[in-house]
Amino acid sequence: METADVIIIGAGVVGASTAFSLARRGVTNVLVLERRQVASGATGKSSGLVRMHYTNPIETQLAFRAFQWFKHWDEIVGGDCGFVQTGVLRLATPEVMSKLRANVRMQQDIGVNTQVISRADIDEIQPGLWLDDIEAAAYEPESGYADPSSTASSLMSAARDRGVRLRTNTAVTGILTENGRVTGVDTSQGQFAAPIVLIAANAWSRPLLQSVGQDLPIYGERHEVAVAERPPALANGHMTILDGAMDLYFRPEGSNLTLIGTGTGTPDDPDTYSETTSPAHIERVGERISKRFPAMHDAGVRRSLAGIYDMTPDDLPVLDRVPETDGLFCAVGFCGHGFKISPAVGAVMAELMTTGGSLALDLSLVRYTRFAEGKHSISPTDYLDPMTPQARQG
């Protein structure tokens, strides 16, 4: 039986990041098991946004730390993550202004380069937006987007250069335990032994937890994006826009395309969901972006796709050890936020797995037991628009 000091289940961006951070700490006898190929799950279909506007301190701190990686990728990891600085605007209607200001103050205290700007300022830095319903925006001048597949591949390559092993086409089917301690995993290719196992399998994580008698309220949610060709009037590109009022986000994609998505998804099975988008979605996002950014009215859709999010009831991940099973950890439930915080998540999980805790971050908001305790971590400054958890839950 092949053995390792640590087994990581999942070679998406979180698993790859954790493998790299473990190797940086000198833990190189690490085996990453992936059911298909690197970044073939949720990571490969991520929209790739890199921004730090959150309504709670833990995700803001993780995003701020992750941003330093994206900004200095070649120095820290090597290779290319495809980061492009576009600037990011989080538009705000009058109804959410007090929350926006509170969130920006919290983000500034953490160190994020962000500020509240007026409607006139928005029009100056990003001409062409329809802003009749908008009072202001949070502006992150340094933020943008990166390439999720390149990011995961770069992290995994750097980890393997340091001794980490990767097995693809190896689906983990269960966690092995003995006397309350993890001993390894069962897979489609046989058993593998390790005293420490990390579950980082996105929406496929819940059955693995159930194999040791544990459970988390994680569910798959299907999300669709479209990629449209920009008209000549937008040949010079545009900023990344987060628009809660219209349940819309969009960012540049390369030199002449725009990626368009929404915060609304549909619960679905990660094993059977359709990766093809519906005509209704294409029509819906087309109408919304045409209203918010009229120059996109004549943009033609080049391609579209659907991916799966691993959702939790409070829109926050679980980054913790699994109770009652020594040596078992999980980094799951990212709710579509995983890519942008993944470098920091990997560093935190590597620290947790090697030292037993995090010296710099308070992880209580993302603890495993909060759902059983009935203490969902919903911030009082969440925006009550379609891109927030309360609205999604009706």
Task: For residue 106, give Cα distances in angstroms to 53, 128, 278, 381.
Answer: 10, 30, 39, 10
User: Given pLDDT bands bounded at 50, 70 and 90, which one contains residue 384?
Assistant: low
Q: What whole-number distance in Å separates Cα of residue 219 and Cα of residue 6?
A: 26
Secondary structure class of 197 (helix, strand, coil): strand
Q: State the residue range of the domain holding 303.
A: 83-142+219-311
Determine how many CB atoms are found less than 10 A away from the CB of residue 29. 14
User: Given pLDDT bands bounded at 50, 70 and 90, which one contains residue 387?
Assistant: low
Residue 386 in any domain: the answer is: no
20 and 103 in a single domain? The answer is no
**pLDDT tens readout for residues 184-195:** 999 999 999 999
184 and 304 in a single domain? The answer is no
Q: What is the CATH number of the domain that holds 277?
A: 3.30.9.10
Task: For residue 256, give Cα distances in angstroms to 125, 224, 231.
Answer: 19, 20, 8
* DSSP one-letter string for 297-327: TTPEEEEEEEEEEEE-TTS--EEEEPTTSBT
208 and 129 in a single domain? The answer is no
Q: What are 15's two structure tokens?
A: 């698993």
Q: What whole-number distance in Å separates Cα of residue 54 and Cα of residue 328?
A: 29
pLDDT over threshold 90, residue 347: yes
Q: What is the DSSP letter of 129?
A: -
In the sheet with 144-145, reading across from the earlier edge strand, the strands are 49-50, 144-145, 84-85
Closest by Cα among 167, 162, 199 to 329: 199
**pLDDT tens readout for residues 10-33:** 999 999 999 999 999 999 999 999
214 and 335 in a single domain? The answer is yes
90 and 168 in a single domain? The answer is no
Strands (DSSP E) found in 200-256: 219-229, 240-243, 248-253
User: Given pLDDT bands bounded at 50, 70 and 90, which one contains residue 385?
Assistant: low
Q: How many domains in the chain?
A: 2
Q: What is the CATH number of the domain that holds 29?
A: 3.50.50.60
133 and 202 in a single domain? The answer is no
Strands (DSSP E) found in 77-234: 84-85, 88-92, 115-118, 136-140, 144-145, 165-167, 172-178, 181-187, 190-193, 196-199, 219-229
Q: What whole-number distance in Å separates Cα of residue 140 and Cα of residue 71?
A: 14
User: Is the full-model pTM beyond 0.85?
Assistant: yes
